[in-house]
Structure 1
Amino acid sequence: MARRKSNTSATGANMDSLLDALTNVVGILVIVLVAVQLSSQEAARRMEEMIAQIDPAEQERIKQAAKDSEAKLEEMKLALQTESDKEKIDPEKLLAMLQDDIAAAELKAKKDLLAAEAAEKEAEEKKLAAEKLRRSLMAQLATLEEKEKEFTVAKTDLLAKLENMPTLNAPPPKEVRPPTPKDIPRNKDGNALLQERKVLVSNGKVIPFVDPGKQMETAIKNRLKMIIDKNKINVGEGNYISNEAQAMKLIDEFNKDPAKNKYFDLKLVRAGRQIRVEIVPTEECGEEPEEAVRGIFGTVLRNMQGKWYLRYLVEPDSFETYMAMRKVTDSSGFYAGWTIIDPDSYLHSLSSGYNIGEKPPPRPPRDPGKPGPVKGVLD
């Protein structure tokens, strides 16, 4: 019993020691807490003082630096996300995309190559054409230079001949007297009893427009009749062709294949409502006065003194021819006169007998009135 008592006493002493130790620890913790609290308050006060002392511009720079850091952080996040997405791309799809890009690049390269070859070919063709043109121009230049030499030689020769030519005196002036005018025979009413027939005197030749001849007139009528029948052209009263298209067809077909004549070319023309025949002398037409007396001119004029009077149309270079021919016709008993005309100014034409359009109604008779003065002097 005494031994157990000894154990209880020892335990109580230990508990007392433990309580003392706890009290000491609690005291220390209280002291530490108070110290920490005081340190925290002091640190907060100091931080407030430091913040108050920071420059506003420095504060703004710090804020901007913070924003920049946030932006960089966001960019890094996006980059990481992009890399993550790339890692998710199907390699086969990526390979197909690369193959398409390669094919497109090859196609473009082929097109560029073809374009370059075409441009090179075109440049070569232009070069050849330029060389050909240069050679042609050089040949022309050589020809011109040769002609220039020939011209210079010919010019020198002509000048030498001109210097050696004898001086020619002009012939004395020749006096020419026109024939004496003669009045045309007229009836009691003052109307001419003879029909006018024109004679062209040009280039020293006599051209008998007085009458192309019955043979020509018949040939023209037959040719027109054949075209009208062939194309079933409707010809009305008075030989009027009401359908203008048919009338123009008649003109065109005749001109493609006109009636043949050795001395004259024939051509149909429209003159208002009339269809006329133009008569143009050929190179074979026209005769010297001596030939004309025995040739076609003499044949046409034979025995026509009582029906025609002659109107000579004389070009300035053919006055002597006119005088020679006039002497012949005057001695044959023809009444005649003359008119000076400009060279190549006269065109002979006559009616074809056909007209275009509808035949106009007859005009009412006019009062004849008093007869006018008689005109009969030809020259």
Structure 2
Amino acid sequence: MKSYSTLEEDDGDGLDSLLDTMTNVVGILVMVLIATQLGVKDAVDRIAQSEKGSQESVQMLEQQYISNQALQQQLEERFKDINSESTRQVELVKLRQQLENTTSNLQAAKTESQLLSVKLKEQRKAAATIVAAMESQKKEKEQLSKEISKNLEEEARLKALLSDYQGKPIAGTESLTLPNPRSVPEGAKQFTLLCKTNKIYPLFFNEQDRTFTRKAIEAIVQQRQLFRGPELGVNHEVLLPLVNRKPPTSEYFVTNLTRSGIYPRISFTPRATRGIALKEVLGTKSRFSEFLDSFDRNSFYMRFFVYPDSYEIYMAARKAADKRAILAGWEPQDDDWVYTTHLGGSLLFGPKPPPAKPNPNPPSPRPAPKLID
């Protein structure tokens, strides 16, 4: 049996050993705690970093997703454009084909139209020829009808004349000679006679009458200020109505101012109620016979302008003139012909023509006009 002191020593050693053990345990626990704290901190840091990285990754993924969506939308739009472009290409091909077909059809239509136009022109020309022929036949028919009526009237008139002669001998049938112009004697002047409606209309109009008429017209131009300068001349649109409102009238004619280009002319229209009738021409003591007897055949020659309805009276007047050795000539005219003569003077309806260039080779003298037959 151990002693008390020995037990006491054993107890002290045991406590020290226990204390050391506890210290070691505490140290280990502290180290474990420290290690644990460090591990937790690292873990926390790692987790934090991991979460931070995950958030960034999520954001990146979201951005990438958005970008991919935009790209997908762009691709879809592009695909639509490609599809539209393809559709347009197909439509363009179709339109080109239609255009070619239309152009071909138009060309064919144009060719056909040209052919039709040529045919129409030919048909119109033929129709115009037919219409002209019909008009000509119509005019001839009307003319024949008029001639028949006139012949009937003439027959009645001649029968009346025959009854007036009371058995006097009548000259044989006269023949009408065609104009055979010869030169006018030197110095002889023309005296004009119109044969219309089977009447004679002697035109008494000399240079004094021309001068008087011109001065009267020039006075109107000056009074109304109708001269518009050398480039325009006299305003004929105003002058002609003014002069012709009350035209001068002589025994046999109505006188009017007319225009031929830039030149004023005087026209003479026979008065229907006047004129020398056939009976007076045939009479030996008529006024016309006295006129022929006093005619100055040394200074004048007669020129007859004969309308289609007045050959009979021309032949009678010409025979009377030939008996008195009066030189004469004649010229047939149409129904719508009007006798005109120049006004004279410097009055023009437009700019004055430039002077003619001098001819280095002057022509030979003009022969006298052939106006008598």
TM-score by length of 1: 0.43
TM-score by length of 2: 0.43
